[in-house]
Amino acid sequence: MDPHRSFDLAPWSVGWSAWTDEAQARRESVFALSNGHLGWRGTLDEGDPCAVPGTYLNGVFEVHPMPYAEDGYGYPDSGQSVINVPDGSIIRLLVDDEPFDIRTGRLERHEQILDFRTGTLRREVEWTAPSGRSLHLVSERLVSLTHRAVAAVQYEVTALGGPIAVTALSDIVANEPLPEVHPDERVQGPLRHPLEAVDRFATDRGATLLHRTKGSGIGVAVSMTHDLGDGDATVVVETSEDLARTTIGAHLAKGESLRFTKIVGHEWSASLTDAALRDRVEAAVAAGGELGWNGLLAEQEAYLTAFWSIADVRIEGAPRLQQAARFALFQVLQSAARLEGRSIPGKGLTGPGYQGHIFWDADSFVVPVLSHVAPDAAREALRWRHATLDDARARAEHLHLGGAAFAWRTIDGKEASGYWPASTAAFHINADVAAALVAHVRVTGDTHLEREIGVELLVETARLWMALGRWDLDGGFHIDGVTGPDEYTAIVDDNAFTNLMAQQNLRGAADAARRHPDRARAFAVDDAEVESWQGAADAVVIPFDARRGVHQQSAGFTEHARWDFEGTEPGQYPLQAHFPYFDLYRKQVVKQADLVLALQFAHECFTPEQTARAFAYYEQLTVRDSSLSASAQAVIAAWVGHLDLAMDYLTEAATIDLDDLRDDIDDGLHIAALGGVWTALIRGFGGMREDADGLSFTPRLAAPMTGLAFGIRVDGDILRVEVSADATLYSLEGEVPLTIRHFGREVVLQPGDPVRLTTPPLADPGPAPTQPRGRAPREILRSGPVE
């Protein structure tokens, strides 16, 4: 069986029928449940077989020394790595003293289904033990979107062929092994058994384990209880340092079932006392227990119904794409729903990839989507950035810069990257955070947030740009020696993306300071400083190659030698694994959208002709060795009228995880790429742009998509957009009229009064851009609907 076969097609779920040994880690990632605070990978109840066990609490990590062959000033001494918190998902089963293990006996049926509307992972198994006893197992688990600390499992085992004695061992297991992250024992050692047992408590139906990480000193409490209903099962509770076990036994006649609910609570804190942690986690379990499985499930469904009522993107004519788009949105929601003071790691809470670190892609690819589909979550991610400002100011000071410099990769806010050309030098992260904040305030109308955290964040990042910038003899403002989004180019002058984002940052700071003069004064901003930001923003230089008539990704970029794409074999991608940075950096080869991302993020700075020309130019150079590229390419391809190409990029973004296109989701999903699916659909095909003149749309479809419908937030109101082949219907839900532009034409929308506007004919976009040999997107959906 092909381990890369697709998941079962369905509009509101992804499922996998029949067991395959291959690619289990991939399914664990896809089937991961999370609420942004707590994550459980899609492992089997009985714990084995397992590829990558994973139970995470957002913010729980261990520290480790950072090894350098040659140390340098400003290199972080200490790294951070996500760890597994004690795993409460495990329910092992004995059948007449034979362990239930799908690798033994005969597996008649095995299904797992992740349901986007119930927010549950449902599993159904029929199994005959080597001894011949048969059972039917149905389990369903959820990580609650309404009770952030709570996960629950509904577990039911039924005797099929004849009577069986069943014993369920429902565990919390601490210090599960994780995949090794580094060959250096100094790094790996502290991560192998990171949790020290602090205390343990048994109750009549469960237990609580208290642990503390050895290096980072984080307290972790995991507690469980079991609801056995009114059956006559026997229950025994035991605890040891790294194990709490509730043993539930029952004798089942043929057709009889043992059924129980396991409620697991999770808490962590770096500052709370052990007693407080215990109280909190046991209170969470009690609250979950009070609701019971049905109550938790009902709340889960209600939460998701509300979410989908605005966030859903309906796609006609492309069922696989429809499924992928909902999967993407569901996982983006899961990564963030209950962040409360945290942000979104690159892999969410679906696996240990990137050591659980948070990067710029949270701010640039996820938060802007959340601002529309789950604004409370976006707000929390922005609050987390703001909460790291002290670390960011300290980092800036350590680098002898002004303002604040956010960590490139981190869990707790402190820099944890060991390769500065692709981290410290990538200062654009600071403008990315600022842009996410400005966009969020615009989308949600949350001026309270702007006052509370926005002014300070914009002021400090603006100050960083002033410290980083350089004036030329002609009054131009430059930013030298930085790294843009494209990780195959580094330490360059005037990266266009960075400069344009810095410009937005400076203007955003000036605007915010003028809107909230009292807050600005609180951060010692005076008029002269605001003027200096405005002046620098107006003077920002964007490199342009007049001879070739195209914008430069960075100064001199288009002069450099072109990568030898013809001489590069398919097996030599990703290039970074087969070529030295030295050679990648000095040639024209683009890992991921950079200038093209600038075309999206700073669209008002490029004419349509410049956009088309730049897109065509950089398409020839972009190899998409990063999952962050396809969505931006989809957006710009759609804008310049290459709709088939846009569809291919959209499809790639949408299937990158579901079809594991990059063969790299064993350690978690690409949350930012999944966020990019919404962006490709709404900004790309919907043509949604915001600029000084307000909101505008240029909606167009591409085969096989015959319809596209979505909702967005505008200043707290909801605008629904339904695109068909020849027209678009705009419906405003809210109180006040809204002016938009449809293909440049200004239209005033009245609440409750939908307007249907026709789509103008598509101007000939010219020949389709070409990509490097072998790096064109797959034409998965272009030829027509799948299935």
Is residue 272 packed enough to be buried (19+ CB in 10 Å), middle (13-18) or exposed (0-12)?
middle
List of E strands, 443-500 = 469-471, 477-479
List % helix, strand, coil for the chain (3-state, nearest 5).
35, 25, 40
565 binds its own copies (CB under 8 A): no
Q: What is the DSSP string of 617-631?
A: HHHTTB---STTSHH
Nearer to its own copies, 565 or 743 (CB): 565
What minimum distance in Å lies between the beta carbon of 583 and its own copies? 6
What minimum distance in Å lies between the beta carbon of 141 and its own copies? 36
Q: Binding residues for its own copies, how many (CB under 8 A)?
A: 51
The full 3-state SS of 638-692, as one line of letters, equals HHCCCHHHHHHHHHHHHHCCCCCCCCCCCCCCCHHHHHHHHHHHHHHHCCCEEEC
Active site residue 619: no
- Contact between 346 and 613 (Cβ < 8 Å): no
What minimum distance in Å lies between the beta carbon of 448 and its own copies? 36
Among residue numbers 413 through 442, which ones bind its own copies (CB under 8 A)?
Answer: 417-421, 424-425
Position among 18, 524, 577, 692 found at the interface with its own copies (CB under 8 A): 577
Among residue numbers 684 through 743, which ones bind its own copies (CB under 8 A)?
Answer: none
> Residue 442 and residue 435: Cα distance in Å, rounded?
11
**Tokens standing for 196?**
């020290």
- Neighbouring-strand partners of residue 696: 689, 741
- Contact between 256 and 248 (Cβ < 8 Å): no
> Residue 565 and residue 155: Cα distance in Å, rounded?
54
What minimum distance in Å lies between the beta carbon of 128 and its own copies? 48
Position among 103, 253, 400, 528 found at the interface with its own copies (CB under 8 A): 400
Q: Which stretch binds its own copies (CB under 8 A): 27-35, 219-227, 273-281, 398-406?
A: 398-406
Nearer to its own copies, 22 or 472 (CB): 472
DSSP code for 554: S
Position among 235, 581, 620, 759 found at the interface with its own copies (CB under 8 A): 581
What minimum distance in Å lies between the beta carbon of 487 and its own copies? 11
Name which of 347, 345, 338, 344 is nearest 377 in CA terms: 338
What minimum distance in Å lies between the beta carbon of 581 and its own copies? 6
Among residue numbers 478 through 497, which ones bind its own copies (CB under 8 A)?
Answer: 478, 480-482, 490-491, 493
Largest CA distance in the chain: 90
What minimum distance in Å lies between the beta carbon of 306 and its own copies? 42
Nearer to its own copies, 458 or 628 (CB): 628
Among residue numbers 79 through 108, which ones bind its own copies (CB under 8 A)?
Answer: 79
- Contact between 710 and 405 (Cβ < 8 Å): no
Position among 270, 522, 561, 727 found at the interface with its own copies (CB under 8 A): 561
Integer CA distances (angstroms), 267 to 33, 74, 278, 357, 406, in order: 17, 34, 8, 20, 27
Indicate the helix (H) or strand (E) that contains 708: strand 707-714
What minimum distance in Å lies between the beta carbon of 202 and its own copies? 41
Nearer to its own copies, 108 or 185 (CB): 185
Among residue numbers 541 through 560, which ones bind its own copies (CB under 8 A)?
Answer: 547, 555-556, 559-560
Nearer to its own copies, 184 or 733 (CB): 184
531 binds its own copies (CB under 8 A): no
How many other C-beta atoms lie within 10 A of the C-beta of residue 400? 9
Q: Which stretch binds its own copies (CB under 8 A): 71-79, 133-141, 148-156, 166-174?
A: 71-79
Nearer to its own copies, 478 or 742 (CB): 478
Position among 136, 251, 451, 587 found at the interface with its own copies (CB under 8 A): 587
Q: Exactly one of 140, 316, 460, 487 is catalytic; which is it?
A: 487
Angle at the Cα of 694 (from 690 to 700), degrees rounded to 5?
Answer: 55
Nearer to its own copies, 564 or 746 (CB): 564
Residue with tokens 């700073």: 602
What minimum distance in Å lies between the beta carbon of 534 and its own copies? 21
Residue with tokens 């701010």: 363
Question: What does the per-residue mask of binding to its own copies show for 31-70, with x meaning CB under 8 A?
Answer: ----------------------------------xxxxxx
> Residue 355 and residue 339: Cα distance in Å, rounded?
18
Among residue numbers 213 through 272, which ones bind its own copies (CB under 8 A)?
Answer: none
583 binds its own copies (CB under 8 A): yes
What minimum distance in Å lies between the beta carbon of 533 and its own copies? 18
What minimum distance in Å lies between the beta carbon of 189 and its own copies? 10
Among residue numbers 321 through 340, which ones bind its own copies (CB under 8 A)?
Answer: none
- Contact between 375 and 446 (Cβ < 8 Å): yes
**Strand pairing class (195-202; 98-99):** unpaired
Among residue numbers 184 through 213, which ones bind its own copies (CB under 8 A)?
Answer: 184-186
> Residue 496 and residue 478: Cα distance in Å, rounded?
10
> Residue 246 and residue 172: Cα distance in Å, rounded?
9
| 658-661 long-range Cβ contacts below 8 angstroms, 24+ apart | 658/6, 658/7, 658/14, 658/30, 658/323, 658/324, 658/327, 659/4, 659/6, 660/4, 660/23, 660/26, 661/778
Position among 360, 477, 585, 730 found at the interface with its own copies (CB under 8 A): 585
Nearer to its own copies, 77 or 538 (CB): 77
Q: How far apart are the first and last CA of the chain?
A: 19
**Tokens standing for 202?**
């048994």
- Contact between 336 and 381 (Cβ < 8 Å): yes
Q: Which stretch binds its own copies (CB under 8 A): 342-350, 583-591, 643-651, 658-666?
A: 583-591
Q: Which stretch binds its own copies (CB under 8 A): 151-159, 582-590, 714-722, 756-764?
A: 582-590
Looking at the annotation, which residues are catalytic?
487
Please give the residue ranges that form the binding site for its own copies (CB under 8 A): 65-70, 72-75, 79, 184-186, 399-401, 417-421, 424-425, 470, 472-473, 478, 480-482, 490-491, 493, 547, 555-556, 559-561, 576-583, 585-587
